[in-house]
Amino acid sequence: MHKILIPVDGSIHSMKALRIASDLATKYQGRLYILHVLLRGKDASDLMALDISSQFDKPLQQILNKAISANLGPAPDKVLRKIGHIILDHFAEKAGNQDVEFEILPILGGKPADEVVAMQEKLEAGTIVMGARGVTHSDSSTFGSVSQEIFRRANCTCISVK
């Protein structure tokens, strides 16, 4: 069975990556492995800008809005972990609707590129499908710095989705 790793962050690009990965899994009898790495270093405004933020419950939205008003800096791990679970629940629902085999992996807390490459090696995944851009948007290049590093280091086929 072909193993496809999908790192997700709640961005529109990672949502598109899931659709592409699902098509590949269907065509090649694959299984999806959906991974989220905590969005460390992101502040409340970055998190509220996520395409998935409409699924945040009212208390979480209030916490993030207060943090934006107070300019508190990066969100704490407790908040990031809650957002991570929301993201994974959303992607599990979407994958379930695609009628493909999938597994939700535990949330990880290290550097995103390190965690994704280590998970690819552990799973022996043959493909990584991920968004070209994540939470932070920059005009400096076509690809985000995390995806560039993963593509450089991973020992498998890597597909970038924009």
Strand-by-strand arrangement of the 127-131 sheet:
101-104, 30-35, 2-7, 127-131, 157-161
Kindly list the distances between the CA atom of residue 133 and the CA atoms of 9, 13, 62, 107, in Å, as whole numbers in the listed order: 10, 6, 27, 20
pLDDT at 135: 57
Mean pLDDT by 10 residues, the chain (162 residues): 95 94 96 97 93 93 94 93 97 94 98 97 98 59 75 96 91
Reported pTM: 0.91
**Can you give the pLDDT at residue 141?**
43
pLDDT of residue 139: 44
Counting every residue, how long is the chain? 162
Residue 65 has a pLDDT of 94
pLDDT of the residue at 1: 83
